[in-house]
Amino acid sequence: MQFKELAAGGRDELDYQKLAFDYTRHPDQDVSHPVRRPVVVVGAGPVGLALAIDLAQREIPVVLLDNDNTLSTGSRAICFAKRTLEIFDRLGCGDRMVDKGVSWNVGKVFFKEEEVYSFDLLPETGYSRPAFVNLQQYYVEGYLAQRAAQLPLIDLRWKNNVTGVAQHDDHVVLTVETPDGSYELEADYVAACDGGRSAVRKLIGQESKGRTFRDRFLIADVKMKHEAPTERWFWFDPVFHPNQSVLLHRQPDDVWRIDFQLGWDADPEEEKKPENIIPRVKALLEHSTMKDAEFELEWASVYTFSCLRMEHFRHGRVIFAGDSAHGVSPFGARGANSGVQDAENLAWKLAAVVTKMAPDALLDTYADEREYAADENIRNSTRATDFITPKSDISRLFRDAVLELSKSQPFARTLVNSGRLSVPATFHGSALNTADAESFLGCMVPGAAAADAPIIRADGSNGWLLRELAQGFTILLAAGPAANSLTRRIQDLDLKGMSLKVLRIATGSGIGEADLTDADGLLTQRYDLRPDTAYLLRPDQHVCARWRQPSADQIHQALMRALAIN
């Protein structure tokens, strides 16, 4: 299939697991000297595709290289968090993800044969997206690829394998191997999104370090029709799989994902055989509400996982994102979600640097912020894995006592760890933040990802806050006595070409003109708004400053700081 054939959209009749894209010889392969491109992204998985789309939407031409010509095989990453879905909304494919996916907020934890407790990851209303959507990775890649095919600034080249990286002061030279031989390609910047076995990482002599867990897990995707609730079920030491753990998730197309802990001594090849998988699945169903369900095995894999990362995510003009930069255990759904959030953080900064709106130093803040986020993910994943797979008799005794107590004692439930599920990192110490000078309530601190809330537009239509934000910077300004005059002063600022959108918010006070109205008070509550309160949001929708009644000069200074301009 030609890549551009995907651009028509829809097309869910396609078998995304079997799509194969045509290799096409590119004119860059027929020139005497390498062609220079602003950005080359290596790897067309979810992270590389998201980064390329984001750059293209910011009017940055991008070359996307992939050493293969297919999408992922099997379900792989399936849990996509609310923040990631909000990013997909901005990239133009969020609705497709949610419409196809299985939405869920509730998880249940079992110990042996009893339900210990349940939890709700989104207990309050007023968000446009659910806590999580389960969707096979091949759909996510397929929908992102279809969106990318609609953007003429994305040049996606299949079967283009990077085999050499040479860095210079002002550019990078890539050697690219194709079915027609090799060629060279220059880039101002290279983003390596080529996965846990990153070729780019090896080519520049770097490695990821960390901890590998001495355990093995079987993933089994089974197809069966059953109306069980759409929830995350996790068993510790179930009778149908004693001394181990099991995780069950529902996916689209009547596919169910089951993770069986196997132990370090398990033979991966033996465990993947249908005659060994099917009895395990039957035993699970027999001890659940699905005992009468008929199923067939669709896909299986055995994995061992690690929690590790590169020491530095930036190496000159080569920048790493996603699994090429860091890896975590699957418990908590922190891998693909953190990778897409890497891409969002990097895209606006690369665009600002490439267009000379910001200095090269802005890219250092990508590394600082996302290394911090990776450490947070690794810490949570390591703790979850240690609780799920205790490595000593004392550890197991402690874990089982916590699980027993959690049946009746709320305090014990805070100690149960079946995977602390993905949430966006808050960059408390980011150099791009302007520190609070006044008191605020709530969690919308500088560095936090902006919370969504329902709004009413000036024309009376209903909407959501995050979908009203600009591709550039946005000022959220609560309507008040000074809001209109401040808006005029902001419009008079010399922003050196920067994009800054002002959204005046009408709150319960009813003072002043407004672009949006707080539909039911949730926006006021979540942002602790008072008349004339202002928030400055970055292009990646993170808060970088807030004030009770700012001057235009304070806003200008915060903007310069957020762009790493001294």
- What does DSSP say about strands 102-104 and 132-134: parallel, antiparallel, or unpaired? antiparallel
* Cβ-contact 91, 50 below 8 angstroms: yes
The DSSP result for 141-164, as a single string, is: HHHHHHHHHT-TTEEEETT-EEEE
> How far is 286 from 38, CA to CA, in rounded Å?
57
> How far is 505 from 292, CA to CA, in rounded Å?
54
Give the strands of the sheet with 543-547, arranged side by side: 462-464, 454-457, 516-518, 500-506, 473-478, 534-537, 543-547
pLDDT of residue 421: 81
Confidence of residue 469 (pLDDT cuts 50, 70, 90): very high
* Cβ-contact 526, 461 below 8 angstroms: no
Arithmetic mean of pLDDT over the chain: 93
The DSSP result for 511-565, as a single string, is: -S--SEEESSSHHHHHHT--TT-EEEE-TTSBEEEEESS--HHHHHHHHHHHTT-
Residue 205 CB coordination number (10 Å): 8
* Cβ-contact 113, 239 below 8 angstroms: yes
* Cβ-contact 79, 418 below 8 angstroms: no
pLDDT of residue 212: 85
CB-count exposure of residue 168 (10 Å: 0-12, 13-18, 19+): exposed
> How far is 87 from 81, CA to CA, in rounded Å?
10
Architecture per CATH, domain 217-304, reads as 2-Layer Sandwich (3.30)
> How far is 476 from 108, CA to CA, in rounded Å?
38
Residue whose C-alpha is closest to residue 387's, from 105, 108, 111: 111
> How far is 473 from 354, CA to CA, in rounded Å?
17
Phi, then psi, of 413 in degrees rounded to 5:
-65, -25
pLDDT in tens, 52-80: 999 999 999 999 999 999 998 887 889 99
Q: b or e along 263-300 (b: 16 or more beta carbons within 10 Å of the residue's beta carbon)?
A: eeebeeeebbeeeebeebbebbbebbebeebebeebbb
pTM of the model: 0.95
> How far is 473 from 543, CA to CA, in rounded Å?
10
| Cα torsion 263, 264, 265, 267: sign | positive
| Cα torsion 123, 125, 130, 131: sign | negative
* Cβ-contact 139, 255 below 8 angstroms: no
pLDDT in tens, 322-367: 999 999 877 777 889 999 999 999 999 999 999 999 999 999 999 9
Collapsing DSSP to helix, strand or coil, 236 comes out as: strand
Average pLDDT over residues 487-500: 87
The CATH label, of 3.40.50.970, 3.40.30.120, 3.30.70.580, 3.40.120.10, for the domain at 454-562 is: 3.40.30.120
Confidence of residue 247 (pLDDT cuts 50, 70, 90): very high
pLDDT of residue 334: 83
Listed range (82-86, 326-330, 434-438) with the worst mean pLDDT: 326-330
Domain boundaries along the sequence of the chain: 5-100+134-208+309-378, 217-304, 454-562
pLDDT of residue 295: 93
Q: What is the token pair recorded at 249?
A: 């998730």
Listed range (52-66, 183-197, 409-423, 477-491) with the worst mean pLDDT: 409-423
> How far is 209 from 192, CA to CA, in rounded Å?
17
pLDDT in tens, 1-36: 665 666 665 555 688 988 999 999 999 999 999 999
pLDDT reading at 500 higher than 60: yes
Average pLDDT over residues 469-497: 91
- DSSP conformational letter for 278: H
Confidence of residue 512 (pLDDT cuts 50, 70, 90): low
Name beta bridge partners: 542: 449
Collapsing DSSP to helix, strand or coil, 490 comes out as: helix
Collapsing DSSP to helix, strand or coil, 439 comes out as: coil
Residue whose C-alpha is closest to residue 97's, from 128, 122, 120, 125: 128
At residue 200's C-alpha, the angle toward residues 194 and 202, to 5°, is 120
Phi, then psi, of 386 in degrees rounded to 5:
-65, -35
Which superfamily, per CATH, for 5-100+134-208+309-378? FAD/NAD(P)-binding domain (3.50.50.60)
pLDDT in tens, 87-97: 999 999 999 99
Residue 464 CB coordination number (10 Å): 18
Average pLDDT over residues 98-106: 95
Confidence of residue 225 (pLDDT cuts 50, 70, 90): confident
Q: What contacts 427, CB < 8 A, 6 or more positions away? A: 369, 372, 373, 433, 447, 542
Average pLDDT over residues 36-54: 98
pLDDT in tens, 362-421: 999 999 999 999 999 998 888 888 898 888 899 999 999 999 999 999 999 989 988 878
> How far is 559 from 467, CA to CA, in rounded Å?
21
- What does DSSP say about strands 255-261 and 462-464: parallel, antiparallel, or unpaired? unpaired
